[in-house]
Structure 1
């Protein structure tokens, strides 16, 4: 039995146009570790990924109780920009930080973290199109595939999705020690 059995992960996807690999690859890794994965979105309708995959959210982001989760992840893809300035998403990010949860984002989704104010003075990475956006909010852009700064994990894009998932698992195990 995995050490992570029973841990809960919240993956927040765009209502449309999430990036398929950034959801499906990490989710598969988490499930193999025995973790429970809950999908949240701004709509409960089936969401279609940029590559055609589909996912049915379990919960609206407005109903999320951050304290029930060990990890909060913002999945990337073009549609994830819907959360950049979303007050509910911003509140989830801030609450996750205050409760010492892992808060993670991949592709263009780190802009949501930056806009919530939590990347100021923190090392982070992001899809190249949004480097200026996170730097403007005080992030120290490293250009790495996956970056870890305390409880914040960011990743560059779809090709880093598996490494992103593995890093989240590794950091979660380290936090349990």
Structure 2
């Protein structure tokens, strides 16, 4: 049976940005796209505005699955949600950096919104790529240091990399992630 794989959605266990998770996920559901929410630890995660989400597994287990080759058949896009928890839990997470690099090497869609494009910069994949990020933030300085080309657009697509600058762009970010996902090969 030929089937589409899932979008791997990464959130911080505390203080992810609610809209940046909920609006893209609504787009995925409208389009029949499967997704899996993961975090640095399995279990319930809490958003900045009070929403809750359940992380089905943690990044360590996801990385082990991907390293084993089983993840190649399961996931075909990666989306990283922002929010004030991203710097603490996601920016310097080596497991997430390796996952990002593996998706990028395979030219699979990699998306990050708000403060989370800093994860992509810290993973070393943004040199000379056009991206956007939440303005006036430490994330902006990290992207500049990584030699990314900073755009003032709300949502930017550069090859397989999709970035958005914050909650106001969450709906369009979700649509772009869905479009990129739907273009990936089926298995």
TMscore range, shorter length:
over 0.9
Q: CA deviation at 1:166?
A: 0.7
Unaligned runs of 5+ in 2: none
Distance 2:179 2:109 in 1: 12
* Residue in structure 2 matching 1:69, options 75, 93, 98: 75
Distance 1:175 1:36 in 2: 13
Answer yes or no: is the 8 Å Cα contact 2:108–2:184 preserved in 1. Answer: no
Aligned to 1:158: 167
Question: Which consecutive aligned stretches of 4+ in structure 1 deviate over 6 angstroms post-superposition?
Answer: none
SS in 1 for 2:115: coil
Q: Which segment is superposed worse, 62-71 or 101-110?
A: 62-71
Q: How does 1:128-139 map to 2 (within 5 A)?
A: 128=135, 129=137, 130-139=139-148
Aligned to 2:117: 110
Q: TM-score if structure 2 supplies the norm length?
A: 0.88
Identify which of structures 1 and 2 has the higher relative contact order when contacts are C-alpha pairs closer than 8 Å and 6+ apart.
Answer: 2
Answer yes or no: is the 8 Å Cα contact 2:134–2:140 preserved in 1. Answer: yes
Q: How does 1:5-154 map to 2 (within 5 A)?
A: 6-64=4-62, 65=66, 66-67=71-72, 68-81=74-87, 82-128=89-135, 129=137, 130-154=139-163
Q: CA deviation at 1:172?
A: 3.1
Answer yes or no: is the 8 Å Cα contact 1:6–1:34 preserved in 2. Answer: no
Distance 2:21 2:34 in 1: 14
Deviations 1:112-140 (A, max 9, x none): 00011101110000001122220111110
SS in 1 for 2:24: helix
Q: Which segment is superposed worse, 19-28 or 65-74?
A: 65-74
SS in 1 for 2:55: coil
Distance 2:151 2:183 in 1: 23
Answer yes or no: is the 8 Å Cα contact 2:33–2:178 preserved in 1. Answer: no
Unaligned runs of 5+ in 1: none
